[in-house]
């Protein structure tokens, strides 16, 4: 057995689908080929059989078990995906099934009898999504999370603790507001600049001058605007992103 | 019969100078009770917090049960709450010895979904960095594996070389472990002046020093004695478990994503894929050594291809992958790293599955150590080459 010995005899996605449809009939629900990834959608009843066929059919020869994992499918429940690869033809095939049992009790048949590598992958999927795999030698104890962990962390309804929005307990800038909630207006004074250095003093003076000039210009502009009745434009490029908690 | 009675019965009745008349009690095989032996979670042979429980029958291992998850940090969940730029800084952490290679997979997956063309110079730079990263990773394992088997010297040699390469990568990326040098559409900044010259110099240095490593290992009787025919892995078991990388190549199968599914510009260079014959610990280590030589050869070829041009491209403020999913695998130093990126069109992924090589490779350990002596378990554990962060994610 050597690598890619049969690359020129590799089946195209269409041929793969036709072959498996011929073998499994209604077990194959559909197929998608997007972003250079070929996925066959399989009915749960045909889940184990399709893996056995993929491994044993001489034309497919999917010998390398790449991975198995769950995907949250929203209100429809959960999907289980396996990725298989053939070291002789160089083909990759993704198989996807929708678990039975909805969000309450998702169940997917185990493929551990076909591929040894499914053992830990299914344990991980159970640990992360709570999907049961009948036929698996033992999903417990939890493989990645701690043994007494409660909940299924990768489900979308399991919230990431650090992202639960928590109001900031104080003001963002110190001394922005006084005790009654009024904005404190402070003018930069020469003595406010930190340090006894002349440079600091000069910079504070300049800042004060700039600010005064800006205020005067603003007042003049406001007078003009009131005359020609021009409303305030929308704030330019308001930030739309959510607050980033622990980034 | 009490212990005292037994001892008296065994020790009595010999004249002085005749020695003891020892009578073996019981007949047939010596019966030993099964013992459970726990190694780890903090043990030098496990490179991190990894625990393995052996069921022993005397010196022989009946069954082994790896206990993982001590370093689970929930990267897959965290990735669902970060945009693609932030994910780069997240994914180079799970396998801390191959930071660059980890980032590369995510960048390729997003680019594949966006059908984005990456500038050629950026692709060559990525290859160059990925190969140096591979050399760095393998040098680490050469040092640590020999150390586990009692040889201290290779560690010193390996770190001398590692330091030079670290300096090189640091010059371009600013990082030693977590490079965060990739971005969607290319790399962050161009290489600094003189980088390629230094890289060429290091190729020469490595070529000159590689024979030392081969001598240290191949000519070492103790090393051979502890690894040859220890923990052989048949190819069909390896593929069924999903073992990849040096451990799979040691079984004789030349499966390497750089050759069988070329990404970046790997189809324009010759990549030699070393293979072993028996799939034992010695072969795994030998393949690791020869992979360094192969990587050095690839780096040498890259120097001849790398041309002028842009290294990244202007991106929208927020990169959003279109709806759908994709699967990208790259040849990481320790095996094949796969990313399943599923997007609902938003700015964060809907699902980012990390198929890490260490997770699958470690799954082969129970098979490998079954029936072996406990002393060999250490040489088998080390020869599978895993990083605990890469198992637990």
Round to whole Å and give the CA distance between A62 and A16: 11
Is there a contact between A163 and B81 if contact means CB atoms under 8 Å apart? yes
Q: Please give chain B's pLDDT, 393 residues, in tens.
A: 445 555 455 555 556 566 655 555 555 555 556 788 888 777 766 667 888 888 888 788 888 888 888 888 888 888 888 888 888 888 888 888 888 889 999 999 998 888 888 888 899 999 999 999 999 999 988 888 888 887 788 888 888 888 989 999 998 888 888 888 888 888 888 888 888 889 999 999 999 988 888 888 787 888 888 888 888 888 889 999 989 989 899 988 888 888 888 888 888 888 888 988 888 888 898 899 999 999 999 999 998 888 888 888 888 778 888 888 999 999 999 889 999 999 888 888 889 999 999 999 999 999 988 888 888 888 888 888 888 888 888
Cα four-point dihedral sign B337, B338, B341, B342: negative
Domain boundaries of chain B, sorted by first residue: 69-392
**Residue B353: both structure tokens together:** 């599955």
Is there a contact between B326 and A37 if contact means CB atoms under 8 Å apart? yes
Answer for the pair A82, A51: CB distance below 8 angstroms, yes or no: yes
Cβ-based neighbour number of residue A165 at 10 Å: 7
Which residues in chain A are contacts of B350 at CB distance < 8 A?
A: 71-72
Which residue is associated with the tokens 């759908």? B324
Answer for the pair A17, A24: CB distance below 8 angstroms, yes or no: no
Burial class (CB in 10 A: 0-12, 13-18, 19+), A99: buried
**Residue B320: both structure tokens together:** 């959003």
Burial class (CB in 10 A: 0-12, 13-18, 19+), B237: middle
Q: Which residue of A has its CA nearest to B344?
A: A73
Is there a contact between B329 and A143 if contact means CB atoms under 8 Å apart? no
> What ipTM does the predicted assembly reach?
0.80
Is there a contact between A36 and B112 if contact means CB atoms under 8 Å apart? yes
Round to whole Å and give the CA distance between B85 and B311: 16
Round to whole Å and give the CA distance between B204 and A70: 47
**Residue B273: both structure tokens together:** 């894929």
Answer for the pair A122, A146: CB distance below 8 angstroms, yes or no: no
DSSP state of B276: -
Shortest Cα distance from B275 to chain A (angstroms)?
11
- For A94, the enclosing helix (H) or strand (E) is strand A92-98
CATH number assigned to the domain covering B69-392:
1.10.645.10
Shortest Cα distance from A121 to chain B (angstroms)?
9
Closest partner CB to A3 (pick from B255, B342, B392): B255
Shortest Cα distance from B202 to chain A (angstroms)?
32
The two beta strands, B35-39 and B182-183, are: unpaired
Q: Which residues contact B193 (CB under 8 A, 6 or more apart)?
A: none
Q: Does residue B41 have a cis bond before it (omega within 30 degrees)?
A: yes
| Separation in Å, CA A37 to CA A29, A55, A65, B22, B361 | 17, 19, 16, 72, 24
């Amino acid at each position: 057995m050597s690598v890619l010995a049969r690359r020129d005899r590799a089946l195209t996605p269409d041929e793969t689908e036709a072959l498996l449809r011929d073998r499994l009939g209604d077990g194959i629900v559909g197929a998608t080929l997007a972003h250079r990834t070929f996925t066959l959608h399989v009915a749960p009843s045909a889940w184990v059989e399709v893996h056995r066929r993929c491994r044993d059919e001489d034309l497919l020869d999917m010998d390398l078990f790449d991975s198995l994992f769950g995907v949250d499918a929203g209100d429809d429940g959960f999907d289980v995906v396996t990725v298989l690869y053939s070291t002789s033809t160089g083909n990759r095939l993704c198989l996807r099934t929708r678990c039975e049992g909805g969000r309450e009790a998702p169940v997917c048949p185990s493929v551990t009898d076909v591929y040894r590598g499914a053992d830990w992958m299914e344990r991980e999927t159970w640990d992360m999504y709570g999907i049961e795999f009948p036929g698996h030698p033992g999903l417990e104890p939890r493989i990645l999370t701690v043994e007494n962990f409660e909940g299924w962390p990768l489900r979308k309804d399991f919230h990431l603790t650090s992202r639960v929005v928590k109001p900031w307990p104080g003001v963002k800038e110190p001394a922005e507001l006084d005790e009654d909630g009024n904005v404190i207006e402070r003018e930069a004074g020469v003595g406010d600049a930190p340090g006894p250095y002349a440079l600091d003093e000069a910079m504070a003076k300049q800042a004060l001058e700039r600010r005064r000039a800006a205020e005067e210009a603003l007042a003049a502009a406001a007078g003009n605007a009131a005359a020609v009745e021009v409303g305030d434009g929308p704030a330019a490029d308001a930030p739309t992103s959510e607050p980033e908690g622990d980034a | 019969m009490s212990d005292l009675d037994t001892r008296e019965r065994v020790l009595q009745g010999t004249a002085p100078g005749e020695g003891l008349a020892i009578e073996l009690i019981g007949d047939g095989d010596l019966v030993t009770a099964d013992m459970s032996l726990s190694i780890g979670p903090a043990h030098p042979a496990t490179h991190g917090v990894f625990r393995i429980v052996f069921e022993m029958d005397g010196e022989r291992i009946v069954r082994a049960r790896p206990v993982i998850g001590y370093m689970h940090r929930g990267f897959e969940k965290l990735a669902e709450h970060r945009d693609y730029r932030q994910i780069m800084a997240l994914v180079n952490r799970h396998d801390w010895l191959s930071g660059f290679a980890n980032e590369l997979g995510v960048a390729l997956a997003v680019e594949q979904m966006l059908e984005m063309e990456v500038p050629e110079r950026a692709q060559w730079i990525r290859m160059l960095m990925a190969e140096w990263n591979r050399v760095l990773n393998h040098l680490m394992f050469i040092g640590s594996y020999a150390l586990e088997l009692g040889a201290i010297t290779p560690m010193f040699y390996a770190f001398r070389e590692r330091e030079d390469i670290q300096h090189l990568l640091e010059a371009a990326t600013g990082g030693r472990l977590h490079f965060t040098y990739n971005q969607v559409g290319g790399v962050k900044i161009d290489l600094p002046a003189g980088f390629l010259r230094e890289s060429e110099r290091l190729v020469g240095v490595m070529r000159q020093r590689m024979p030392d490593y081969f001598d240290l290992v191949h000519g070492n009787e103790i090393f051979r004695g502890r690894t040859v025919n220890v923990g052989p892995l048949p190819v069909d078991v390896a593929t069924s478990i999903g073992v990849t990388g040096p451990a799979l190549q040691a079984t004789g199968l030349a499966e390497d994503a750089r050759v069988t599914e070329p990404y970046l510009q790997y189809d324009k260079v010759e990549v030699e894929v070393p293979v072993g014959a028996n799939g034992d610990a010695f072969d795994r280590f030998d393949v690791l050594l020869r992979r360094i030589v192969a990587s050095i050869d690839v780096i040498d070829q890259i120097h001849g291809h790398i041309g002028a041009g842009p290294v990244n491209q202007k991106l929208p403020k927020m990169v959003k992958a279109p709806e759908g999913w994709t699967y990208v695998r790259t040849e990481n130093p320790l095996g094949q790293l796969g990313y399943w990126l599923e997007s609902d069109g938003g700015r964060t992924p809907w699902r980012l599955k990390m198929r890490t090589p260490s997770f699958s490779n470690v799954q082969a350990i129970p098979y490998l150590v079954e029936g072996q002596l406990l002393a060999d378990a250490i040489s088998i554990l080390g020869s599978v080459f895993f990083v605990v962060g890469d198992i637990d994610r």
